[in-house]
Amino acid sequence: MPHSVHIRSVMKRYGDFIAIPELSLEIKEGEFFTLLGPSGCGKTTLLRMIAGFNEIDGGEISFDDRVINDLPAHKRDIGMVFQNYAIFPHLTVKENVAYGLIARKVPAAEKEERTQKAMELMHIAEHSAKYPQQLSGGQQQRVALARAVVIEPSVLLMDEPLSNLDAKLRVEMRLVIREVQQKLGITTVYVTHDQEEALSVSDRIAVMNKGHVAQLGTPLDIYLRPANTFVADFIGITSFIPVQVDAEGKVAILGKAPLGIRAAKSYTGMAILAVRPENVVLKDAEGSDFTGRISTATFLGDSVCYEIDVEGGRRITANQYMINTDSPREVGQTVGIGFLEKRLNLFDPSGEESLL
Amino acid sequence: MNAALRVPSFQERLAKRLNFWNVVLVLLLLLTLVFIVYPFGQMFYNSLFNADGEFSFANYQKFFGRRYYYNALFNSLKICVTVTITSLLIGLPMAYLTSRFHILGKRFVDIAVVLSLLSPPFIGAYSWILLFGRSGVVTTFLADWGIDIGSIYGFKGIVMVFTLKLYPFVYLYVSGALSSMDASLEEASANLGITGLERIMRVTFPLIIPTILSSGLIVFMTALADFGTPMLLGEGYKVLPVLIYDEYLSEVGSDTYLANAMSVIIVCISATVLFIQKKIINRKSYNMSALNPPAITHLPTGKYLLASGFVLLVAVVSLFPQITVAYTSFLKMNGPLFVDGFSLDSYRYIMFKLSRNISNTFMFALAALAVMIMLGLLISYIVVRRRSRASGLLDFLVMFPYVLPGSVLGICLVMAFNKGPIMIAGTMWIMILSYTIRKLPFTLRSSVGILYQIDPSIEEASISLGVSPMKTFFTVMVKLMMPGLLSGAVLSFIAVINEVSSTIILYTGRTVTMSVTIFSEINRAGYGTAAALATLLSLITIVALIIFRKLGGKDVA
């Protein structure tokens, strides 16, 4: 049965370096929860604290209402999938999958049945007698996943499980992971630095930076309404443009006419406008208030990505989808720049707070 | 109030620390304390007392005050430095030629090199005496033609025998490094216009400086510690280990206090050399990934023959001792004299009269091997995976005997364990103890190497699936480490059966081994017996070596 995970004010230090100062999270039962962040943000540290491989230096972690701080790793009843598979090289596929059941002294007949079921679920039953060296990377990761779920763990932990696979396999495997998690309903904590992966598999995401949670929310929230410039910059591509907010809350690019958005909070002064490439609308330069010069145009198949130099030595990235045009614009051309205004985001000058 | 923020009581903290690995760590530290720190500490302590039991520096004053003594120190250093240089001069070009070009008889060269390395050191000295000694076969033959080749005794002879015995260290280490080097670096150099000898000096060798230094260090330390060769060949030319042996064991005028002081001096020298080498290596280490291993190319015929000639000549010359000894073992003997014709008398003699020596050799070596494997597994795990100040100390203490010459270790152990609660001097236990302490560093290093290659998450996977850390170690880790560890252990086994410098201090009539019997047989002119034993020892070594190759080829990971 699925368990909830409660992380309360946990702290982790390595000597003088504090990796996680104080962090709290509530992970609901059956939830697919992702810790997303750049390397060194503390996401793997936190995952290994849940697993029992890193000591908890302050605060507490509990599964449901059982505090697990002092429970050794092998008694936490956890399924774990590692970045480099960590399949036992001296055991066959079947022996690998059955390993945790043997440790739990599951009766032979039941062990046999559950092992078989797990292998079938992961489509590796036909390889059951093979050794790991005879399998491809994707197959090895399937073995690792089968081995982790067959024990029906309280919590399933995954530490960048797809980062050693090639791009195509990564997309295939993340579908498999999501599907299996949904089918079994296991509470899952997933660590990755790949934002696309995080957006595609998670129920909720905690974006982490320097040991803190920068934003907690659903994939849609995080992409559309980033809480700060760190998240806006880390997830997807964002161009930042300095703007002025007047006393009425009107927002304007310096020296230009006001945009159609208003700062929600009572704030006046300089602010940062965040624009995603797909929300930039390119127009003819004539009659446009805000213009720029195309410095590069990269054809990507379904779209063209432009880098546009605007006043003040800044650059804006814009995407133009091929379904909207037949001929991409040329490098050197001056274009008018507009925005899909309801998708814009606005932050205070420190970038810490949204002004919408 | 948050329960986890409460300061845990002493009992709670102790209970948290009381896990399998911490218990093992404490036990191992206790073992090193009793069997390494105590014996050596006692020797150091004793070196500070005079014969009347008063605290003084008299021993050191005596050593540095008399030419007879301090001269031996200079002689030792002179020999070690010379041998290190000559071994590098032979080993480096050989390694380069065989790892970059096709060479005639490369397989034979490899076997010859390893064989000459693994025989007891004094076998070489003994055979060269048989060939080039005062009444040696070659000497008398050449003398008949009026050619005088000079004396093989003294400095020249010792340097020659050491060089032929020790250049294989350089050859093996450096070939390994050269063939695992990334070829792109040499290609880049060629591309920029630097090739040939200049490239070797400016790119190839500088990149493997750590390996070259390590091999040089081993040569230096082995030459410094060995006493069989200078004993047989030195005659008037005394070196430090011979002096220690004399002072410790000679019937007349022995001075164990002085022997202690000299032992301390020799240990200080090797520790200093080791320290300097580590400093240099830390500064000069480069990480290279051999994505693109160097190709072995064909030389033009002239150069091919020249290169092959050089390599084969060295290999054959370094095999001379083995060949001589094997040949001698089949000669008919009449007392100490060789007479015409061949016979198996020498073998019959060792089988019937010296069977105990042979069985002892096996028994001690296998027992030491079992202990070393066990300790190697546990210690390497603690050193690599449970890094702490205590594990660093353990690593240091276990590696320390690496700088102890065998005879010094032997003396330490006898003095420490001939009285008190652990009275094992004169028994087989002290032999096994000595072999274990002396050769454990080798097993440990190979074991540490393997552990670095095993992904830590394999172990974590097992633990997360519900198997305790202790059980995980014995069921998963040991299985994964074993193949590599065993191949390292076979080398330790070979080193043990050929060990003579601590054995000669520790053995008694009941615990006599093959290697030490060879030495004593040579000294009492039992040449046939010595030769037969030495041949048998070489044979066992070869068999062990074949097992080693077989093990090395079967890797799990």
CATH for B474: 1.10.3720.10
| In a domain? residue A68 | yes
Domain annotation covers residue B2? no
Does one domain contain both A121 and A262? no
Does residue B455 fall inside a structural domain? Answer: yes
pLDDT at res. B336: 67
Mean pLDDT of B375-387: 91
What pLDDT is attached to residue B7?
61
Contacts of B464 in chain A (CB under 8 A): 51-52, 73-74, 76, 78-80, 148, 157
Shared domain check, B438 and B373 = yes
Residue B4 has pLDDT above 50, yes or no: no
Pair B510, B429 in one domain: yes
Please tell me whether residues B298 and B354 are part of one structural domain.
Answer: no
Predicted confidence (pLDDT) per residue in A146-205, tens digit: 999 999 999 999 999 998 888 889 999 999 999 999 999 999 999 999 999 999 999 999
Q: Is residue A2 over pLDDT 80?
A: no
Domain end: B296, B326, B356, which one? B326
Kindly state whether residues A184 and A267 are assigned to the same domain.
no
Mean pLDDT of B422-449: 88
Which is more confident, A157 or A256? Answer: A157
| Tens digit of each residue's pLDDT (9 = 90 or more) over A58-96 | 999 999 999 999 899 999 999 999 998 899 999 999 999
In this structure, are A186 and A332 located in the same domain? Answer: no
- Specify the DSSP class assigned to residue B52: T
CB contact (8 A) between residue B463 and residue A88: no
> What percentage of chain A exceeds 90 in pLDDT?
75
Predicted local confidence at residue B163, as pLDDT: 92
Is A163 part of any domain?
yes
Report CB contact under 8 Å: A58, B5. Answer: yes
Q: What is the structure's pLDDT at B181? A: 77
A146 shares its domain with A203:
yes
A293-297, A325-329, B151-155: which has the highest mean pLDDT?
A293-297
Across the interface, which of B3, B16, B556 has its CB nearest the CB of A60?
Answer: B3
Among A209-223, B59-73, B185-199, B442-456, which stretch is predicted with the lowest mean pLDDT? B185-199
Identify the pLDDT of residue B288.
61
B294, B326, B358: which is the final residue of a domain? Answer: B326
In a shared domain, residues A326 and A292: yes
From A230, A248, A272, the end of a domain falls on: A230
pLDDT, residue B27, reads: 95
Q: Mark whether B419 and B313 lie in a shared domain.
A: no
Partners of A9 on chain B (C-beta within 8 Å) are 2
Please tell me the distance from the alpha carbon of residue B533 to that of residue B354, in angstroms, as a whole number: 9
Size of chain B in residues:
557
Q: Within a domain: residue B502?
A: yes
Query: In the predicted model, is pLDDT for residue A54 greater than 60?
Result: yes
* Range picked from A25-34, B109-118, B196-205 for highest mean pLDDT: A25-34
How much is the pLDDT for B273?
84
Whether residues A118 and A195 share a domain: the answer is: yes
| A281: closest CA of chain B, how far (Å) | 47
pLDDT of residue B278: 77
Residue B375: predicted pLDDT: 94
- Nearest Cβ partner for A51 among B5, B464, B472: B464
Last residue of a domain, one of A197, A230, A263: A230
- When pLDDT is cut at 50, 70 and 90, the band that residue B251 belongs to is low
Answer yes or no: is B398 within a domain. Answer: yes
Same domain assignment for residues B411 and B517 = yes
Do both A65 and A170 map to the same domain?
A: yes
Shared domain check, B317 and B369 = no
Per-residue pLDDT at B380: 92
Look at A126-130, A329-333, B198-202, B263-267 and tell me which has the smallest mean pLDDT.
B198-202
Q: Do B556 and A78 touch (CB under 8 A)?
A: no
Strand, coil or helix: A8: strand
- Between the CA atoms of A330, A334, A336 and A342, what dihedral angle is there, to the nearest 10 degrees? 60
Contact assignment for B466 to A79 by CB distance below 8 Å: no
A311 in a structural domain: yes
Neighbour-count burial for A23-61, b at 16+ CB within 10 Å, e otherwise: bebebebbbbbbbbbeeebbbbbbbbbbbbbbebebbbb
Q: Do B465 and A151 touch (CB under 8 A)?
A: yes
Question: What pLDDT is attached to residue B177?
Answer: 83
User: Residue B431 class from Cβ within 10 Å (0-12 exposed, 13-18 middle, 19+ buried)?
Assistant: buried
- The reply to whether residue A147 touches residue B557, judged by beta carbons under 8 angstroms, is no
Cα separation, B124 vs B323, in Å, equals 10
CATH number of the domain that residue A142 is part of: 3.40.50.300
Contact A86 B557 (CB under 8 A): no
Same domain, B315 and B365: no
| Per-residue pLDDT at B85 exceeds 90 | yes
**Mean pLDDT score of chain A, rounded to an integer?**
92
pLDDT score, position B345: 80
Q: What global pTM score does this model have?
A: 0.81
Q: Is B463 within 8 Å of chain A by CB?
A: yes
Interchain CB contact of B481 with A (< 8 Å): no
How many beta carbons lie within 10 A of that of residue B135, not counting itself?
A: 9
Q: What is the mean pLDDT of chain B?
A: 84
Confidence of residue B253 (pLDDT cuts 50, 70, 90): low
Whether B86 is covered by a domain: the verdict is yes
Q: Could you tell me whether strands A303-310 and A239-245 are parallel, antiparallel, or unpaired per DSSP bridges?
A: unpaired
Q: Are B117 and B494 in contact (CB under 8 A)?
A: no
The pLDDT of residue B554: 40
How many distinct structural domains can be found in chain A? 2
Give the domain CATH number at A300: 2.40.50.140
Kindly tell me if the per-residue pLDDT of B363 is higher than 50: yes
Q: Does B9 touch chain A (CB under 8 A)?
A: no
The answer to whether residue B477 scores a pLDDT higher than 80 is yes
List the single best residue of A55, A88, A91 to mutate versus B (max B Cβ within 10 A).
Answer: A88
Is the CB of residue B538 less than 8 Å from the CB of residue B158? no
Residue in B462, B464, B556 closest to A89 by CB: B556
Greater pLDDT, A206 or B526: A206
pLDDT score, position B341: 76
Kindly state whether residue B499 falls inside one of the protein's structural domains: yes
Q: What is the 8-class DSSP label of residue A351?
A: S
Whether A338 is covered by a domain: the verdict is: yes
Length of chain A: 356
Asked if residue A110 is part of any domain, the answer here is yes
Residue A208 falls within a domain, yes or no? yes
Region A219-224: mean pLDDT is 95
Structural domain boundaries, residue A267: 239-347
| Contact indicator for A314, A241 with CB cutoff of 8 Å | yes
Alpha-carbon gap, residue A132 to B458, rounded angstroms: 13
| Residues B128-145 pLDDT 10s | 888 887 777 777 778 788
Choose between A287 and B367: higher pLDDT: B367
Mean pLDDT of the region B372-382:
93
Question: Which residue has better confidence, B523 or A193?
Answer: A193
State the average pLDDT over residues A347-353.
91
pLDDT in tens, B484-502: 788 778 878 888 888 888 8
**Angle subtended at Cα A33 by Cα A31 and Cα A35, rounded to the nearest 5 degrees:** 170
State the pLDDT at residue B38. Answer: 93
Between CA B108 and CA B118 the distance in angstroms is 15
Q: What is the largest CA-CA distance in chain A?
A: 79
Shared-domain flag, residues A213 and A262? no
Mean pLDDT lowest among A26-35, A197-206, B25-34, B298-307: B298-307
pLDDT at B291: 59
CB contact under 8 A, B2 and A59: yes
Name which of B435, B437, B444, B448 is nearest B493 in CA terms: B435
B399 lies in the same domain as B300: no
Give the rounded distance of the alpha carbon of B198 from its chain centre.
Answer: 34
CA angle B308, B309, B311 (to 5 degrees): 65
pLDDT tens profile B50-75: 777 788 888 888 888 888 888 989 99
**In a shared domain, residues A187 and A129:** yes
Regarding whether B353 and B271 lie in a shared domain, the answer is no
* Band of pLDDT at residue B217, cut at 50, 70 and 90: confident
The answer to whether residues B301 and B348 belong to one domain is: no
Q: Are B444 and B402 in contact (CB under 8 A)?
A: no
- My answer on whether B237 and B353 are in the same domain is no
Residue found by looking up tokens 């191949």 in the block: B487
pLDDT of residue B252: 59
Domain presence at residue B256: yes
pLDDT over 80 at A1, yes or no: no
Q: Domain count for chain B, please give it.
A: 2
Percent of chain B past pLDDT 90, that is, above it, reads 21
Among B342, B257, B262, B292, residue whose Cα is nearest residue B55: B257
Residues A226 and A263 occupy one common structural domain? no
Domain match, A287 and A199 both? no
- Please tell me the predicted confidence (pLDDT) of residue B557: 29
- The answer, yes or no, to whether residue B556 has pLDDT greater than 50, is no
Test A79 with B16 for CB contact under 8 angstroms.
Answer: no
A113 and A259 inside one domain: no
Determine the pLDDT at residue B329: 86
pLDDT, tens only, A316-331: 999 999 888 778 888 9
Question: Around Cβ B303, how many Cβ atoms within 10 Å?
Answer: 12
State which residue of chain B sits closest to A50, comparing Cα positions: B464
The reply to whether A353 falls in a domain is no
* Count of other CB atoms within 10 angstroms of residue B292: 13
Q: Does B458 touch chain A (CB under 8 A)?
A: yes
Residue B427 belongs to some domain of the structure: yes
Residue B1, pLDDT score: 39
Chosen domain end from A169, A202, A230: A230
B56 CB neighbour count, 10 Å cutoff: 14
Q: Which of A158, A228, A165 is nearest to A192 (CA)?
A: A158
Name which of B101, B527, B74, B546 is nearest B297 in CA terms.
Answer: B101
Do B257 and B381 fall into the same domain?
no
Tell me whether B556 touches chain A (CB under 8 Å).
yes
Is-contact B79 B157, C-beta < 8 A? no
**Nearest CB neighbour to B466, from listed A59, A84, A104:** A104
Tokens standing for A179? 């599907």
| Structural domain range at position B274 | 60-326
